[in-house]
Amino acid sequence: MLLKIINLHASIKGKEILKGINLEVNQGEVHAIMGPNGTGKSTLASVIVGRDVFDVTEGEILYNAKNLLTLSVEERAREGIFMGFQYPVEIPGVSITNFMRTAVNEIRKYRGLDPMSAGEFLKMMEEKKKLVEITSNLTNRSVNEGFSGGEKKRNEIFQMAMLEPTLAILDETDSGLDIDALRVVANGVNKLRTPENGFVVITHYQRLLDYIIPDFVHVLFEGRIVKSGGKDLALELEEKGYDWIKQQL
Amino acid sequence: MGSDNNNILDAYTSGEYKYGFHSDIETEYAPVGLNEDTVRYISARKEEPVFMLEYRLKAYRHWLTMKMPTWPHLEIPPIDFQNIIYYAAPKKKKELGSLDEVDPELLATFNKLGISLEEQKKLSGVAVDAVIDSVSVKTTFSETLSKYGIIFCSFSEAVKNHPDLVKKYMGSIVPYTDNFFSALNSAVFSDGSFCYIPKGVRCPIELSTYFRINAANTGQFERTLIVADEGAYVSYMEGCTAPQRDENQLHAAVVEIVTMKDAEVKYSTVQNWYPGDKNGKGGIYNFVTKRGICKGSNSKISWTQVETGSAITWKYPSCILLGDNSVGEFYSVAVTNNYQQADTGTKMLHLGRNTKSTIISKGISAGRSNNSYRGLVRITKNAVNSRNYSQCDSLLLGDKCGAHTFPYIQTENKSSIVEHEATTSKISEDQLFYCQQRGIDTESAVGLIVNGYAKEVLKQLPMEFAVEAQKLLSISLEGSVG
């Protein structure tokens, strides 16, 4: 059992967004979270990774049986949780290489490993770049600076490949992507799937799930998971729309 | 969403000044206050020739007619010039021949600061002219340098041993009439460095100076003069640290540089003076006049500074581009945190033809500080085909600090090109969160981001300084410096 969320309530500035989420992700599983806008999908992702603008008012999050809520953002990251941001920020002047090297070595330090030598690191960079079809130009630039939407998303997957997380949360990774970019990103994700890691894929549209085939689909509506099913649930949603869900409640 | 939760940044920019200690060395003080007798006292203690005393007195009398300027974007509490001690010297027991004879307390001080003269002499080959509280203690490597005909000694020694050079150049670039503080400095300057590089000589080692203000209420009035003769080259580094004090300490230095035809001087500064405590109490006042003249054609003067300390920084290292094709450069990273203030920049005066100047200024503000860039690019009528490129960037950390830019551009001919770019940015909570989510803690993240921001300037520093400067940037923002 990788991730277990029990009766999670979270609010921001006194307004409750998550109203009792229950979710279990096991090793090797891909869970898709769908739902209309403003329903709490990104909030859920933010709370899992530890963004402190949200207050957890009730409930638990266990990660590998550890109480995640007591860990800081960087500790959660070092434990192996990765978030693919919906809107990745730019960090001018900081090269992707330098950024990744710092991150990789921090995580290694946390796990009691020595930092990677420059040679080893560059070799790893080359391998992972191929995975996401990134050319050198991109990695010599500053983090996300001047990147198109598609380039930013590919950079997120590249970072995921470099950091090798055990739980990856992809927050609307497909937003702003055209079909080709979507395929590249999805391919990257699929190549990173192992029997040991888990994925939570947050998306609006069915389309991404044609490429990243989920084991479970959950519908998040007004702060609760109101329906869960297999991959066919996504197809049903696509066909019938979210109103169908509202009617069922 | 995240704007009302600046906890990450608030918690980060606070801490202790890392270099807060002061050594118990016997010092001799001039009587407090400033009058003609003080000036005579200083000159007598230094056993100066008459010409020097006369210069000082002229400067002092002129200073009496001047008023402190009020135009900078700084809040300066009134300074009682009569409540300052203008001279302090460690008691010399005997003439210092070698390091073995140096006061062991002084050596211990150097060690505490991480500057071991011993080590430097043996390993890095950097000549050090160590100044403690107004008196040069030891000039290392003068024997090695004299082989090349290079003179590198304390200013006081130069006054005695090379009076002609001093008479010729001192005050020619920064006359005592120039401004209130240059007049004061010219009257009461204590010591500093003197460097002369003869024709065609490329100085083989980085020259360097370490300063330290030790005694309470003592103003440091350094005077430095660097002369590069035709075709000469020298790279000079100035680095300072100062102990924790309660009283403000005035630091009004003057640095003059002259380059002849085809010569080049690279002047680098890493400044880490005590900036005052978290509440803005205490701290050094750093009011400095630095100016170089590219006298000969094809000559070049390059100023690189990393300013992280001082309660108030007020300085404009400048270049007078007299010689045709001469080049002036100014690279600066100025950090202000807590209640620090800075009004700093440069003046590039284009007089000769085809002259070029480059200005890259990176301001970083944090806490409740105020950081201003003030620059003048003046291209005179005869400076045809001249070029200037200026880039002034400000980085704001948090929402209680200020960044200001006062660029002045005056062009008097139509064939020259002046380019000016400016940006203002901040380290957002989003950027920090992004780094944290990749396993990088706040401290490292700020260091990463700030060093990336200042990269263009830091890479101008000589290697010896570059590493120290990177660490210093991170430390000064993480709050070890007040």
Which sequence spans correspond to the domains of chain A? 3-238
Give the position of tokens 């995921």. Answer: A160
Comparison of pLDDT for B178 and B447, the residue scoring more? B178
Cα-Cα-Cα-Cα torsion A109, A113, A118, A124, nearest 10 degrees, comes to: -100
What residues of B are in contact with residue A95 (Cβ under 8 Å)?
Answer: 452
When scoring B432, B438, B450 by the number of chain A Cβ atoms within 10 A, the one with the most, hence best to mutate, is B438
- The domain defined by A3-238 folds into Rossmann fold (3.40.50)
Residues B95-110 have a mean pLDDT of 54
Question: Is the model more confident about B151 or about B20?
Answer: B151
Q: Say which of B1, B436, B438 has its CB closest to residue A53.
A: B1
- The Cα angle at residue A163 between residues A159 and A169, in degrees rounded to 5: 70
Query: How many whole angstroms separate alpha carbon B46 and alpha carbon B191?
Result: 9
CB-based contact A98 B440, cutoff 8 Å: no
Phi first, then psi, for residue B375 (nearest 5°) are -140, 145
Instruction: Find the mean pLDDT for residues A22-49.
Output: 93
Length of chain B: 482
Residues in contact with B29: Cβ distance below 8 Å, sequence separation at least 6, in sequence order: B85, B87, B88, B215, B218
Question: What percent of chain B shows pLDDT beyond 70?
Answer: 77
Which among A74, A61, A72, A73 has a CA at the least distance from the CA of A1? Answer: A61
pLDDT at B58 over 80: yes
Q: How far is B21 from chain A (nearest CA, A)?
A: 33
pLDDT of residue B348: 97
Interchain CB distance below 8 Å, A92 and B441: no
From B89's Cα to the closest Cα of chain A, the distance in A is 45
CA distance A159 to A164: 8
A201-236 pLDDT tens trace: 999 888 889 899 999 999 999 899 999 999 898 888
Which residues make Cβ contacts (< 8 Å) with residue B321, sequence separation at least 6?
B294, B327, B328, B348, B349, B350, B351, B352, B355, B356, B357, B383, B386
Q: Among all chains, which residue has been given the structure tokens 């950027």?
A: B431
pLDDT band at B25 (very low <50, low <70, confident <90, very high): low
pLDDT of residue B93: 41
- pLDDT > 60? residue A88: yes
The pTM of the full predicted model, rounded to 2 decimals, is 0.79
| pLDDT at residue B398 is higher than 90 | no
**Mean pLDDT along residues B333-344:** 93
Mean pLDDT of the region B223-240: 91
How far lies B214's CA from each of B14, B136, B229, B242, B375, in Å? Answer: 25, 13, 35, 7, 33
Confidence at residue B89, expressed as pLDDT on a 0 to 100 scale: 67
Asked if residues B371 and B402 have their Cβ atoms less than 8 Å apart, the reply is yes
Residue B411: enclosing H or E segment and its boundaries?
A: strand B402-411
Asked if residue B368 has pLDDT above 50, the reply is yes
Lowest-pLDDT choice from A75-79, A131-135, B172-176, B207-211: B207-211
Select from A56, A19, A14, A58 the least CA-distant residue to A35. Answer: A19
A177 alpha-carbon distance from chain centroid: 16
Cα–Cα distance measured from residue B303 to residue B328, given in angstroms and rounded to the nearest whole number: 8
DSSP A116: P
Strand ranges, E, within B17-100: 27-29, 88-90
B88 near B98, Cβ under 8 Å? no
Q: How far is B363 from chain A (nearest CA, A)?
A: 15
> Terminal CA-to-CA distance of chain A, rounded, Å?
30
CB-based contact B438 A92, cutoff 8 Å? no
The whole-number average pLDDT for the span B35-40 is 93
Instruction: Give residue B4's pLDDT.
Output: 36
The answer to whether B291 touches B318, Cβ cutoff 8 Å, is yes
| Candidate from B430, B439, B442 with C-beta closest to A89 | B430
Rounded distance, CA A96 to CA A134, Å? 12
pLDDT at B284 exceeding the cut of 90: no
* Separation in Å, CA of A64 to nearest CA in chain B: 18
| Among A151, A149, A137, A150, residue whose Cα is nearest residue A97 | A137
Q: Which of A11, A99, A141, A142 to mutate to test the interface with B (most CBs of B within 10 A)?
A: A99
Q: For residue B142, what pLDDT is reported?
A: 59
In the predicted model, is pLDDT for residue B338 greater than 80? yes
- Which has the closest alpha carbon to B465: B266, B303, B238? B238
| Complex ipTM over 0.90 | yes
**pLDDT top residue among A5 and B139:** A5
* Chain centroid offset of residue A15 CA: 24
User: CB pairs below 8 Å between A and B: how many?
Assistant: 75
Could you tell me how many residues make up chain A? 249
**Number of helices (H), then strands (E), in chain A:** 10, 12
Give the percent of chain A with pLDDT over 90: 60
Q: How far apart are CA B481 and CA B459, in angstroms?
A: 23
Chain A residues lying within 8 Å of B431, measured CB to CB: 89-91
In angstroms, rounded to a whole number, what is the distance separating the alpha carbons of residues B414 and A170?
57
Mean of the per-residue pLDDT values for chain A? 90
Asked whether the predicted pLDDT for residue A195 surpasses 90, the reply is: yes
Q: Which residue has the higher pLDDT, B177 or B238?
A: B177
**Interchain pair A106, B440: CB under 8 A:** yes
What residues contact residue A175 under an 8 Å CB cut-off, 6+ apart?
A: A86, A204
d(CA A12, CA A38): 13
Which pair of tokens denotes residue B357? 């100047």
| Mean pLDDT, chain B, integer | 82
With CB atoms and an 8 Å threshold, state whether B425 touches A92. Answer: yes
Residues of chain A contacting B452 with CB distance shorter than 8 Å: 91-95, 98, 142
pLDDT surpasses 60 at B18: no
Residue B470's pLDDT is: 77
Using a pLDDT cut of 90, give the percent of chain B over it: 52
DSSP lists the bridge partners of residue B333 as: B306, B362
CA B3 to chain A, closest CA, distance in angstroms equals: 9
